[in-house]
Amino acid sequence: MAAIRKSGGVVAFFWDGKIADPRDQAFCDAMANRRFRTIENAASEEISAGWVTALDPTGDSFGLEDLDGGAGTWLRFRIDKKKLPMKWLQIHRDAAEKSRGKKLSARERRELKDDLMDKLLPRVLPSVQLVDALLFFDKKTVLLFATSKSAREVFGKLFLESFGVPLERANPLQSGLRVGLDEATKYELERAEPVRWPQAEKAGELARAARSKAVDPTDADVAEADA
């Protein structure tokens, strides 16, 4: 087993409510219920996502010791995607049109595609993506080591289905509600409005005015902007 990553992007999530303790077997059981299931031999295009561990990328086993991430609990999920390469479809369509001497109709193209999917997809290997996360149980925080929208969504869905609580992605509001502010300050946070910097605004207005008159600048304009 390699060590957890030491660089890259990270997105923080928080949860409220109670989830199984990662030191208990119930936590492993919850992951096992949404374990990764292979689509290696599937005959249709599909995506499969589920939990695995750093020790076992198949999703067949979940042991408490496999989740040891030092200060946190090391979660890993796997996303496999099976897709017929479009180039193959194009090659077969071109060959069919060449032998017929004319273009295929829409229905014929669809039938050719379905036929090829049935024949070729069982032979296509899915792409594999392994994504890690560190869960800090006492802090109700989990750090996901992927920033793409698709990985975030899969993770949120898996977490909810496994542990029964939704995740809140960190952002200036959600993070602010979790930095130990008192209730009155939280109230202010929820209603905060952007600061309008008075001097900076003035400078900005002058600059914009200068730009709008920049087609034929006069000495007076320059003097105004300098002021």
Partner 1 sequence: MTQQTDTGADTHGFLGEEFLTWLWFRWETEGGDFTLPGGRLVGVALDDFLLFAAKSEDETEQTLRRGLPTRTAEARTALRQGHRLRKARLLVAEGSRQWSATLDATTLTLGGVKLPEDAEECESDVDRTADRSANWLALHEIVQGLYGQFLRERLRADYKKSGAEKQARWMAG
Where along the sequence are the contacts to partner 1 (CB under 8 A)? 1-13, 68-72, 74, 134, 136, 139, 141, 143, 147, 152-153, 156-157, 160, 166-176, 178-181, 185, 188-189, 192, 194-204, 207
- Our CB check for partner 1 shows the closer of 21 and 201 to be 201
- Our CB check for partner 1 shows the closer of 121 and 151 to be 151
For 42, counting Cβ atoms within 10 Å of its Cβ (0-12 exposed, 13-18 middle, 19+ buried), the class is middle
Amino acid at 171: N
Distance between CA 158 and CA 49 in Å, rounded?
8
Q: How far is the CB of 7 from partner 1 (least distance, A)?
A: 5
Distance between CA 130 and CA 19 in Å, rounded?
23
Amino acid at 121: L
Estimate to the nearest angstrom the gap between the alpha carbon of 120 and the chain centroid. Answer: 29
- Our CB check for partner 1 shows the closer of 79 and 121 to be 79
Distance between CA 132 and CA 130 in Å, rounded?
7
Q: How far is the CB of 62 from partner 1 (least distance, A)?
A: 17
- Our CB check for partner 1 shows the closer of 42 and 143 to be 143
Q: How far is the CB of 129 from partner 1 (least distance, A)?
A: 17
Q: Are 80 and 45 in contact (CB under 8 A)?
A: no
Q: How far is the CB of 119 from partner 1 (least distance, A)?
A: 32
